[in-house]
Structure 1
Amino acid sequence: MKRFVVVILFFVFGTLYSQDQSVKEIDSLYKEDHFYAGITYNVLVNKPSNVKQSGFSLGFNLGFIKDMPVNKSRTWAIGVGLGYSANSFNENLLISKSNSGEFNYSVIEDKETYNKNKFASHLVELPIELRWRTSTPTDYNFWRIYTGFKLGYSFVNTNKHKGDLGDFKYNDNPDFNNLQYGLTLSAGYNTWNFHLYYALNPIFNNDAQLSGSTIDMSAIKIGLMFYIL
């Protein structure tokens, strides 16, 4: 009976060991492919005089990033992904449309004259990252710093106003820059990560003018990024 128990235990532990070895062999070539989701607070910079943000301007993004390690220990990698982003900006820049179809820009001085005034965008995005992390084949909780570049194409742009001037919404404004791009940084531990996006080009093109000057304001997005294996 004792010999039988010894044989069984030897077989069980031998099987577990061989399974563990096979797992390690597979995991030795692990990749940190990730689904990601993030939420940001959107800040307008380089604003024209008297243009101010109001309320809380939110951004949301999600997608998938393919991980391509570049060193033997797999602590460094290149990440390339595809994602979706939605962003809104609450402010006092009035975008109105004339009877001829031309879009005009002005500043609403009295905030008591409107309930809502914002513009928003929906983008398809291509993030490219240089990734550093302390991960190992068996450790899924690790520090990370991902920095890179994000290219986005805005397929829907809208502006909405509700106030004394009436309620109106437009989604055919050609003055938005459909191509958006900027620098990114994500850093943190495990699932919770600080995220920063710094736009390198303005939200509007040169056709958008306020008092004869181009509207060169751009966006900085600050928030949290969640990575899911």
Structure 2
Amino acid sequence: MNFFKKQFFWSLVLMLSFFNGFAQEEIKKDETNDVKIDSLYREDQFYFAFIYNTLQQKPIGLKQQKFSIGLSGGFLRDMPINKLRTKAFATGLGLSYNNYNENLGITGTAKDAVYTILGSQSNFDKNKFTQLLIDVPLEFRWRTSTYQSYKFWRIYGGVKFSYLVYSKSVLVDDNGKTVITNNDDFNKLLYSLYLSAGFNTLNVYACYGLNPIFKSISVDGQKINMKSLNVGVIFYIL
């Protein structure tokens, strides 16, 4: 009887030792997996922004009409720079569409445009110009994210280089409809500072142009150095 008790006792010890070693091995595997997952963690994201476009440094008499909207979207590649991966640089590629409703009448041709401020006596139904741009953003990122959670606070900011690929101005008045595409007077390369901040998917967004929208034009003896200020909301989607 004592023989069987001893056999049972040592069998139990061996089983406990086996399960303990197995459990420790599993914990080590889990820890290894955690490190592996964390080492690959990035905030690569698609983004989409809905913005309100305003013009800054307007010449006397120039006013914006109606609501000028803009849309922007693209992809950003995340490059963490600290162990916790809460700080990073990011760059990518995107597209922006900007629409400006105002009273700067543009007539003539794309090679030789004529500019007039449409005053209160002017009878026009529509006047606007639109732009389509390719964007290359370069930003610094701070966030409270982890690889386990996609809900976090963020502050992203940087500089954006934009290349104008298409422009169009439309004036509809008593003289008919004047449409000019790819006006040579628009700056082809635009650069701006931007900032976005918020929690989870929804964030506020602001972007200020550092150089003028037009190259070098004048209206009524005033040089036009208008710059853009865009404010709105931006969504980040993994």
AA paired with 1:160? V
AA paired with 1:174? D
Q: Secondary structure at the match of 2:64?
A: coil
What root-mean-square deviation, in Å, do the aligned CA atoms of Structure 1 and Structure 2 show?
Answer: 2.2
Contact 2:68 2:101 in 1 (8 A): yes
- The reply on whether 1:56 has 2:56 as its aligned counterpart is no
Contact 2:111 2:183 in 1 (8 A): no
Contact 2:196 2:205 in 1 (8 A): yes
Higher Cα Rg: structure 1 or 2? 2
Q: Per the alignment, do residues 60 and 19 of structure 1 end up closer, same or farther by CA in structure 2, a change over 3 Å counting?
A: farther
| 1:142-180 alpha-carbon deviations (Å, 9 max, x no partner) | 000001000000010110011212112110310000111
- The reply on whether 1:219 has 2:203 as its aligned counterpart is no
The Cα of 1:17 is off from its aligned counterpart by 7.5
Q: Find the counterpart in structure 2 of residue 178 from structure 1.
A: 188
Q: Find the counterpart in structure 2 of residue 93 from structure 1.
A: 104
Q: Secondary structure at the match of 1:28?
A: helix
AA paired with 1:103? A
Q: Find the counterpart in structure 2 of residue 204 from structure 1.
A: 214
- The reply on whether 1:80 has 2:91 as its aligned counterpart is yes
Q: Give me the TM-score of the superposition, normalised by structure 2.
A: 0.84
AA paired with 1:120? T
Counterpart Cα distance in 2 of 1:93 and 1:113:
13
The Cα of 1:22 is off from its aligned counterpart by 6.4
* Aligned mate of 1:117, from 127, 131, 144: 127
Counterpart Cα distance in 2 of 1:67 and 1:42:
28
- The reply on whether 1:144 has 2:154 as its aligned counterpart is yes
Runs (4+) of structure 1 moved beyond 4 Å?
16-23
Q: Find the counterpart in structure 2 of residue 132 from structure 1.
A: 142
Q: How much identity, in percent, do the aligned residues show?
A: 42
The Cα of 1:25 is off from its aligned counterpart by 3.4
Q: Find the counterpart in structure 1 of residue 163 from structure 2.
A: 153
- The reply on whether 1:169 has 2:187 as its aligned counterpart is no
The Cα of 1:23 is off from its aligned counterpart by 5.3
Aligned residues: 215
Counterpart Cα distance in 2 of 1:156 and 1:23:
49
The Cα of 1:27 is off from its aligned counterpart by 2.5
Q: Find the counterpart in structure 1 of residue 5 from structure 2.
A: none
Q: Give me the TM-score of the superposition, normalised by structure 1.
A: 0.88
| 1:83-127 alpha-carbon deviations (Å, 9 max, x no partner) | 0000000000001106x9521111111277111100110000000
Contact 2:141 2:154 in 1 (8 A): yes
Counterpart Cα distance in 2 of 1:111 and 1:35:
46
Where do 5+ consecutive residues of structure 1 fail to align? 1-9
Counterpart Cα distance in 2 of 1:225 and 1:94:
31
Q: Secondary structure at the match of 2:71?
A: strand
AA paired with 2:51? T
Counterpart Cα distance in 2 of 1:24 and 1:111:
70
Counterpart Cα distance in 1 of 2:221 and 2:127:
22
